[in-house]
Amino acid sequence: MAKTRWLDEQEMAAWTAFLEASHRVFRSVEQQLKEEAGLSHPQYEILVKLAAAGGAGLRMTELAESLITSKSGLTYQIGRLEERGLVVRGEVPGDIRGVTARLTDAGVAALRAAAPGHVARVREVLIDGLDRHQLTVLAEALGEVSDRLREHGA
Q: Which DSSP helix (H) or strand (E) runs through 19? A: helix 9-37
Digit-coded pLDDT (tens) for 60-112: 999 999 998 888 999 999 999 999 999 999 988 777 788 999 999 999 999 99
pTM reported for the whole predicted model: 0.90
| Cα 103 from chain centroid (whole Å) | 17
Per-residue pLDDT band for 44 (boundaries 50, 70, 90) equals: very high
Per the document, the length of the chain is 154
Digit-coded pLDDT (tens) for 11-30: 999 999 999 999 999 999 99
Write the Ramachandran bin of 18: left for phi over 0, alpha for psi from -120 to 50, otherwise beta.
alpha
Domains and CATH numbers, the chain: 38-151 (1.10.10.10)
Of 41, 90, 45, the closest CA to residue 66 belongs to 45
